[in-house]
Amino acid sequence: MTKWENLKKARRSSNDKVIGGVCGGLGEVTDIPSWIWRVIFLICLLSFGVGIIPYIVLWICMPWDTGKKPE
């Protein structure tokens, strides 16, 4: 299974969430911990002003983790 296939199975985390669970969900399917994802989005937001746009898009597009394993 490739890493891109893992990203297709990304879900917003219900266990590891601060705002919307996006970074927790990305941390579950990638080798990057969720706190690093949070730092990446924060740096993009503060330095370029574009960090909020991909976060909101992911928040809308990623379904919630239901506790079941994705097929």
pLDDT tens digits for range 22-67 = 888 888 888 889 899 889 888 988 987 887 888 888 888 887 776 6
Q: Mean of the pLDDT values across residues 8-17?
A: 74
Q: Is residue 51 part of a domain?
A: yes
Give the residue numbers spanning the domain of 46: 21-63
The confidence score (pLDDT) of residue 67 equals: 65
Cβ proximity of 13 and 67 under 8 Å: no
Q: Look at residue 28 and tell me if it is in a domain.
A: yes
Measured CA to CA, the distance from residue 37 to residue 32 in angstroms comes to 7
The total number of structural domains that make up the chain: 1
CB-CB contact of 15 with 7 (8 Å): no
Q: Quickly state the pLDDT bin for 18 (edges 50, 70, 90).
A: confident
Rg (CA), the chain: 12
**What is the model's pLDDT at position 71?**
47
The pLDDT value recorded for residue 56 is 85
- With respect to residue 58, please indicate whether it lies within any of the assigned structural domains: yes
- Is there a domain that residue 69 lies in? no
